[in-house]
Amino acid sequence: DGGITQSPKYLFRKEGQNVTLSCEQNLNHDAMYWYRQDPGQGLRLIYYSQIVNDFQKGDIAEGYSVSREKKESFPLTVTSAQKNPTAFYLCASSPPTVMNTEAFFGQGTRLTVV
Partner 1 sequence: DQQVKQNSPSLSVQEGRISILNCDYTNSMFDYFLWYKKYPAEGPTFLISISSIKDKNEDGRFTVFLNKSAKHLSLHIVPSQPGDSAVYFCAASRANSGYALNFGKGTSLLVTP
User: How does strand 64-66 pair with strand 76-78?
Assistant: antiparallel
User: How does strand 109-113 pair with strand 10-13?
Assistant: parallel
Compare residues 50 and 80 and give the one whose CB is closer to partner 1: 50
Q: Rounded distance, CA 44 to CA 62, Å?
A: 12
CB of 82 to partner 1, least distance (A): 20
CB of 35 to partner 1, least distance (A): 8
Interacting residues with partner 1 (CB under 8 A): 4, 6, 31, 33, 35, 40-45, 48, 50, 56, 58, 88, 90, 92, 94, 97, 99-108, 110
